[in-house]
Amino acid sequence: MVLELLFSAVFYSYISYSVDNELKASMIKQAKYLFATYDDVAEALTSKKELLRKVLKLQARIATLPHENFRSFHFKSYRKDGHDYLEAYFPYEFPLQRYLILTADVTKQKQVEKKVIRGILLMNLFGMVAILLYAFFLSGMLIAPLRVFSNKLAKMNEYALAPLDLKEIPEEFAPLGESVNHLIRRIESFLRYKKELFVGTAHELKTPLAVMKTKSQVTLMKRKRSEEDLVQALEQNIRSIDDMNAIVGSILEFGRAEGAQFEQPERIDVVVYIETICEAFTLLASQENKNLICRLNPEHLYVTLPPLLLKQIIQNLLQNALKFTPEGKKIKLLTYVKNSSFVIKVRDEGKGIDENMDLFAPFRRTQDSSGAGLGLFLVKSAADALQAKITIRNRRDGKGTAATLILPLKEVSFQ
């Protein structure tokens, strides 16, 4: 509306200015005609008054103005007896302060200007009404899908999460709907894994406790308890306690990883950062008679992210690769930029994985795994926090496993 009023004001000012300039230009032209045609303009205005009035279509006279000092042409506007007039003053005999005065009746022009301004005001009035109606209609169209989102989200709870039906939503809101559904799926996955974590924790702790209780009861039931039986029972209890400590340690590590998601992002050279991790694991691999090869590209890449989350991902992937790679075999860590993403790959030469298993679920581990089964769960949580994609697949050549982290690049620089 403000723009419409501003445009109308500018438009009216332009029309008024153009009309006034045209009138003034016409009067200047007529004055020049009089000065060029007649040597004595005052005598011509007296002798040929009626002829000049018809030709010029305005009144002309010579007058002395002792109180004026116009060295060049000058214009004045005034209103008299319901008519609008424009007067032009041209120096005729300047030392005597005599001027040629041309007077034009511009009433019709002013009436046209008034009609124009009334038309503009009327057009603005109808335009504002139309804009208000359109804005009201458009806002209703925009709010309706948002109300659908709001109502459906309000009815949801953690026990009944379901993606929104996008058929009821206009095509323009499809990207928003997809984003909301993606968020719902992430929340659903997060809650499912959380529940599995709690249930798995209880189950994992229950097993060593049951072993400790059974072993203690059997030892107490023996009528003749030798020192050897007591030592064996204590050793078994210590092993069970160690197992529980490992589980508790993994849960604490998960808690620290959750806390790292709220870590303040930092601008780091991610390639150099990964290189320092590689140096530590290269030494560890050599101690286990294994070979870790790191091929990092580009040489430098500056990104903004919470570095601890990235460290947790790479450390867990390298630990798993070292664990399942036999002695004398190789582990490779590769980095490169592809399609506006930073890709990190860890390839081992182990026996591979069961791709039908959900490796990222808590306490999900293979039979020959000695860990608590939370490592990849931590990796998935950290990757989600970085808005990255993590996949673990068997290598195409069948010689091990390849874990791939795809980190989308937003604000980056190579120096």
Split at pLDDT 50, 70, 90, the class of 262 is low
Reported as a single tens digit per residue, the pLDDT across 232-253 is 777 777 877 877 777 777 666 6
Reported as a single tens digit per residue, the pLDDT across 120-176 is 778 777 877 777 777 777 777 767 777 776 777 777 666 667 777 777 666 767 777
pTM of the predicted model over 0.75: no
Bridging pattern class, strands 291-296 and 330-338: parallel
Domain 199-260: assigned CATH number? 1.10.287
Reported as a single tens digit per residue, the pLDDT across 287-330 is 889 999 999 999 899 998 888 888 888 988 998 889 888 999 99
Q: Quickly count: other Cβ atoms within 10 Å of residue 249's Cβ.
A: 12
Predicted local confidence at residue 405, as pLDDT: 94
Predicted local confidence at residue 372, as pLDDT: 57
**Over 90: is that where the pLDDT of 333 sits?**
yes
**Over 70: is that where the pLDDT of 33 sits?**
yes
Split at pLDDT 50, 70, 90, the class of 255 is low
Q: What are phi and psi of 400, to 5 degrees?
A: 145, -155
For the chain, domain boundaries? 2-112, 199-260, 266-408
Reported as a single tens digit per residue, the pLDDT across 191-205 is 766 766 666 666 666
Split at pLDDT 50, 70, 90, the class of 77 is confident
Q: Which residue has the higher pLDDT, 201 or 405?
A: 405
- Residue 121 CB partners (closer than 8 Å, separation 6+): 8
Task: Report how far residue 215's alpha carbon sits from residue 348's, in angstroms, rounded to the nearest whole number.
Answer: 40
Predicted local confidence at residue 332, as pLDDT: 93
Q: Which residue has the higher pLDDT, 259 or 310?
A: 310
Task: Report how far residue 201's alpha carbon sits from residue 181's, in angstroms, rounded to the nearest whole number.
Answer: 30
Predicted local confidence at residue 3, as pLDDT: 65
Average per-residue pLDDT for the chain = 78
Reported as a single tens digit per residue, the pLDDT across 267-278 is 899 999 999 999
Q: Which residue has the higher pLDDT, 283 or 66?
A: 283
Predicted local confidence at residue 353, as pLDDT: 82
Task: Report how far residue 211's alpha carbon sits from residue 197's, in angstroms, rounded to the nearest whole number.
Answer: 22
Please determine, looking at this structure, whether the domain spanning 266-408 carries the CATH number 3.30.565.10. yes
Of 146, 141, 73, 83, the closest CA to residue 109 belongs to 83
Q: What are phi and psi of 368, to 5 degrees?
A: -95, 15
**Over 60: is that where the pLDDT of 415 sits?**
no
**398 in the Ramachandran plot: left (φ > 0), alpha (ψ -120 to 50) or beta?**
left
The 3 state secondary structure assigned to 237-252 is HHHHHHHHHHHHHHHH
Task: List residues bridging with 413 in a β-sheet.
Answer: 302
Predicted local confidence at residue 23, as pLDDT: 83
Count of residues making up the chain = 415
Split at pLDDT 50, 70, 90, the class of 260 is low
Task: Report how far residue 271's alpha carbon sits from residue 302's, in angstroms, rounded to the nearest whole number.
Answer: 8
Predicted local confidence at residue 200, as pLDDT: 64
**Over 70: is that where the pLDDT of 105 sits?**
yes
Of 201, 343, 325, the closest CA to residue 270 belongs to 343
Split at pLDDT 50, 70, 90, the class of 257 is low
**Helical segments of 83-221, H only:** 107-155, 174-221
Task: Report how far residue 13's alpha carbon sits from residue 19's, in angstroms, rounded to the nearest whole number.
Answer: 10
Whether the CB-CB separation of 164 and 184 falls below 8 Å is answered with: yes
